[in-house]
Each structure stands twice: as C-alpha cells, then as structure tokens.
A = this chain, B = another copy of it.
Amino acid sequence: MFIEKHTNDASLNLGFEWNFEQLEKEFPSIRLTNLNDRSFLYHQGDKCSSLFLIKGGIVKLSHLTAQGNELTFALLSKGDIVGCLDIVNADHVMEENAQALGKVDFYRIECNDFKQLITLRSDLSWSVLTSIYARKQQIERKLIATHTQPVKQRVIKMLFELAQLFGTRCLHGYALEIFLTQQELADLVGASRSVVSTIMNNFRDQGVLNYTREQICINDPALISIELSSES
C-alpha cells in the first residue's frame, strides 16, 4: 500500500499480458531462447536486425559512454521489448547493451517478421505501442529527475522502484531479489559509485535499510519518512 504510491511507471502496460503459448502456436518460427546471468542479448555497437520479447527475467538496458561510464536506461521484464525496430536499414547499429540480470527467457524475432506479426495481429500492435510509449515517458521522468533531484533522492526513488519490481516481503519491509553492486546502482541513478556508497551507508545508519553484498533490504515506512523530509 505504501509502495503503490510510487507506482507511476509502466502503468499503461498494466492490464496486458502476452499470451506466450498462443504466440508459439500461431508463429512457430519464433524461437524461445534463454540466457544466464550477465550474458548479453546484444552489445552496444553490434549490428542487429532482431527484436527480443522478454518472456521472463530481467534485462538491463545500458549505454557505455566514451569516458567509460555506464548509464542504465531501464530494467526490463516480462512482456517488454528490446532490440531493433529498424526495417529500413539492414545493418542497424545498436546504441546500447542489453544484458541479462539473472536467468532470462526470451523470444528472438527478426524485425521484419515482427512487423508482419503486428500487422496481422492488430490487437497486439496497440499494447506494443503503449508499452513503448510508457518507456518513453519513464525516460523523460528520469531526465527530469537528474535535472532536479540530488543523488540522494534519486537513490531513494530507485530503491522504491526496485522494491516494486523485485521486492518480496521480509521482516523489515522489502528484500530485493536481485544482485546489484553499488556500481550498478550508481549507473542506474546516473551518479558516481562513491557518493552512492556513502549515501547508502547513511541510510543504513539511519536504520531505513540494511544490506550485505548479496542483498538489499528496505524498511519502507522509514524510507518514506526520509523521502518526505528530504523533499522539502
């Protein structure tokens, strides 16, 4: 209930569930594949003409800058689409990395075929459209956040988002079912590792969260009170 307050993203996508079984029947050419933790669906710089529909697991979408910093756009999950939507240019160069966090199942579809699929199944086209649109909105919010909020608040926000996506109830609140190094958390909020580290330690000292190198555990009521106080 507390968490719901922060459920502002991807809301358009709610209510739609891909029917994977039906999809497999209707389009047997579409092959199900899977990858292990930290494997890449594709790398930045790769030429790629495929599109990937996530069936299960988490995919990190990130960009490596010339200066060697990584910037994470989004963590995608079931029903999301990544890859190439360009049917015009045959060797389209990817601008970002798509990496599995944990095990990931996905369908790989040639972009052309996907266009066919969309055209045939106009019911799908609308949900794909709204899903992409929701992601556009989410990145716009991220852009706003980096321009208006200090790192500390962005970290809080991100923790809520993560709790929502991967949280399971534990004694204190939510435990994140995902491995994230501090570096990855920093990439996710667009900040340097060292400041994120000290911020996390402050939070720990204040008792709003606890973590080991394997897991983060959030005491959400306490975190909310922090958020509210730092908003003013």
The residues of A with any CB-CB pair to B shorter than 8 Å are 11-12, 14-15, 63, 65-67, 69, 71, 73, 85-86, 88-89, 95-96, 115, 118-120, 122-123, 125-126, 128-130, 132-133, 135-137, 139-144, 146-148, 190
Pairwise interchain contact A119-B130, C-beta atoms closer than 8 A: no
Pairwise interchain contact A119-B129, C-beta atoms closer than 8 A: no
Q: How many copies of the shown chain assemble into the complex?
A: 2
Pairwise interchain contact A119-B122, C-beta atoms closer than 8 A: yes
Known contacts A12-B86, A115-B126; A140 and B73 CB within 8 A of each other:
yes
For A67, the chain B residues whose CB sits under 8 A away are 148
Pairwise interchain contact B129-A136, C-beta atoms closer than 8 A: no
Query: Within the complex, which residue of B14, B122, B126, B147 is in contact with A146, where a contact is CB–CB below 8 Å?
Result: B147
For A118, the chain B residues whose CB sits under 8 A away are 122, 125-126, 129
Pairwise interchain contact A140-B12, C-beta atoms closer than 8 A: no
Pairwise interchain contact A126-B119, C-beta atoms closer than 8 A: yes
Question: For the complex, what is the distance from the CA of A20 to the CA of B204, rounded to whole Å?
Answer: 59
Minimum CB distance partner of A146 in chain B: B146
Chain B: minimal CB distance from A163 (Å): 23
19 additional contacts (CB under 8 A) given A65-B147, A120-B122: A11-B86, A65-B148, A66-B148, A95-B137, A95-B141, A118-B126, A118-B129, A119-B125, A119-B126, A122-B122, A125-B126, A128-B129, A129-B132, A132-B136, A135-B136, A139-B139, A139-B143, A142-B143, A143-B190
- 14 A-B pairs with CB atoms under 8 Å apart are A12-B85, A14-B88, A66-B148, A85-B130, A95-B140, A96-B140, A119-B122, A119-B123, A125-B125, A125-B126, A128-B129, A129-B132, A143-B143, A143-B146
